[in-house]
Amino acid sequence: MIMKMSNREKIMLYILGIILIGIGYYQFIYSVQMEKIDERIQKESQIKQKYNEAMNTIGSMGDRKSDVKILKAKIGDEALPFYPTISEEHIILELDKLLSDSGLKGGIKFDPIVSNSVENSKKEDKSLSESSIQGIVDKYDDVTGKNDNSESNSLNDSNKNTTNANNENFKSNDTKNNNNSSNNTNTSNSSSDNNNSKNSNTTNTNGGNSGSTNVDTSNSKDKGKNTVHYLKCAVSFEGSYDALNKLLNTIGKNEKKIVVNSLNVSEDTLDSIKGTLNLEIYSIPKINDELESYLKWDLKNTYGKSVPFSTGAASGNVQVNNDTNDFVASVRYANSDLPTVMVGKSDDPLKTSYVYGDSDLKEEVEMILTQDGDKYYCKYKTSNGKYPVNYDGLGAEFVPKSNNIVIDVLSQSRISSNDKSELVFKIINKTDKLVNVNVNGDDKSNPRVSVDGNGSNISVNQK
C-alpha cells in the first residue's frame, strides 16, 4: 500500500532538505573558503608590512650612508695616533731620527712583540702622619681660643696638599689617558709638555714620602677579551739634559703615539747625563689604506698627514698650523668617503672633541664661545653630534693660543653643478677676544662656507 504525502509534509521535507544542503555547504565549502581567505588576508598584511619596512629602509639609506661615513671618520680619527702595525725596521729608523734630531747618542733594545690585554694600574693614596708637635700646637690653640682655621692648621693643610700633589697629578694623568689603555709607572725628575708623556708619571719626593702604584692583576675572565699588539723597547742614551728634554718634547709632538713608560737618568759628567728610556708602542688594525702606505715607507718619502681631517696619506695640499689656531673645521663634497662637515679642537690628537655632519645640501654648525672671568669655554654642534655631550652648560674649557680666537676652515672647490654641500657656520662670541675665521680653499664663484654671527667681534678672512 502506497502512502500518499500531504502537501504539508512535502513542504516540510523541502525545508529540511534545504537546511541540510545549507549546513553541508557551510561546513564543507564556505568554512574552507573563509579559512583560505583569512590566510590570504594575513599574508597580504605581512607582505604589506615587509613592503613598508623595505620602503622605510630604502628611504633611510641616505641617513645610514651618512652614519656610516661619520662612524668611519670617527674610527679613523680615533685610530690615527696609533701605528697600523708594528714594524721594527720602521720603528728603528724613526727612533734613530728622534735621537739624532735631539742631539743624543744611544742604542735601542727591543722586547718581543706581544698580543695581550693592556695592563691596568692600581693607585694607592698615602698621607703623612701628623707631626708630634701638632698636638702641642692644638693645645695651645685651645688655650688661646683660636679656631680651626689658625695658622697651624693652614700649615698642616699645606703639608698635606704638598704630600698629595703627586697623587692628584697621577689621577689627572690617569684620567686623561684612560682611553689610551697604557701603563703608568714611576719616572725620575723630568718635565715634558707632551701628550705621550701623560702616560708616564713623574713622582717627586716630599720629606721621603711619595705615592706609590701597584700593578693590578686582572681577573682571568677579563684576560684576552681586549687585546692589542704592542712592543716594549729600551732606548739607552747619553748627552745633555737639554737634549733629553728636546727628545721628550719631540716624542710628545710625534704624530704616532709613543708611550714613555719610565725614565732612568744618572750623571755621566758635569755637562752630560746618561740613562735609559723605556717606551711602549701600540698598534691597532686600520680600516683605511694607512697600512699599505706605511709598509711602503721609503726614506725619501713624505709621511704624516698634512690635512688633519683626511684618513689617507699625506697630500700636502693644505697645511694647518696647530700652534696658532684654536679650532679647525672642514667642508667637502657630498660624494666624499668622509662626512661633509667636521669640527673640532686643533690640539686634539685623539679627535675626542670632533663632531660630524653629513648632508648633500646645507649643514648648519653652531659654535658658542663664552668667557667666565679669565676662563674661556666652547661648545658646538652639528645635525649629528655635539660637543660636549652636556650641551646645556658653558661647555668645555679651552685656552686661546693667541690674543684672538682663531678658527681655520678647510673647504674645496665644487666639482659639478650638482655639488650642493655647504657649511653655514653660526658663531656666537661672548668673550672679550676677536674671533678670526680663516677660510682656506673655498670655491671662488660659489663659496661653500658662509659665516653668520656678531660682526663686531668676528672677522672672516678668505685665503
Residue ranges per structural domain of the chain: 9-55, 88-122+134-205+225-283, 305-462
Is the CB of residue 340 less than 8 Å from the CB of residue 358? yes
Is the CB of residue 92 less than 8 Å from the CB of residue 207? no
Comparing CA positions, the residue from 264, 178, 188, 181 lying closest to residue 229 is 181
CA distance 230 to 282: 4
Comparing CA positions, the residue from 191, 325, 195, 176 lying closest to residue 253 is 195
Pick from 39-43, 126-130, 261-265, 414-418: least confident: 126-130
Phi-psi region of 145 (alpha: psi -120 to 50; beta: other; left: phi over 0): left
Residue type, 29: I
187 pLDDT exceeds 50? no
442-453, pLDDT tens digit by residue?
Answer: 988 889 999 988
CA distance 431 to 429: 6
- The mean predicted confidence, pLDDT, of the chain is 75
| More confident site: 27 or 337 | 27
333 pLDDT exceeds 80? yes
Q: Identify the pLDDT of residue 170.
A: 36
22 pLDDT exceeds 50? yes
Comparing CA positions, the residue from 197, 182, 264, 176 lying closest to residue 231 is 182
Within 8 A by CB and 6+ apart from 181, the residues are 118, 226, 228
pTM > 0.85: no
Q: Identify the pLDDT of residue 429.
A: 92
361-387, pLDDT tens digit by residue?
Answer: 899 999 999 999 999 999 999 988 999
What pLDDT band is residue 191 in, cutting at 50, 70 and 90? very low
Could you write out the DSSP letters of every residue in 191-211? ---SSSGGGSEE---BTTB--
Comparing CA positions, the residue from 380, 383, 335, 386 lying closest to residue 362 is 383
Cell of 218: 686582572
234, with CB counted inside 10 A (0-12, 13-18, 19+), is: middle
Within 8 A by CB and 6+ apart from 245, the residues are 190, 191, 192
In whole angstroms, how far apart are CA 405 and each of 379, 436, 454? 14, 6, 14
228-259, pLDDT tens digit by residue?
Answer: 788 888 999 998 888 889 999 888 888 888 88
293 pLDDT exceeds 70? no
140-181, pLDDT tens digit by residue?
Answer: 778 776 544 444 444 444 444 444 444 444 334 443 434 443
Q: Identify the pLDDT of residue 382.
A: 92
Is the CB of residue 216 less than 8 Å from the CB of residue 184? no
Pick from 223-232, 278-287, 418-427: least confident: 223-232
44 pLDDT exceeds 90? yes
CA distance 82 to 84: 6
314 pLDDT exceeds 50? no
Q: For 22-44, b where at least 16 C-beta lie within 10 A, e where not — what string?
A: eeeeeeeeeeeeeeeeeeeeeee
**Could you check whether the bond before residue 400 is cis, i.e. omega within 30 degrees of 0?**
no
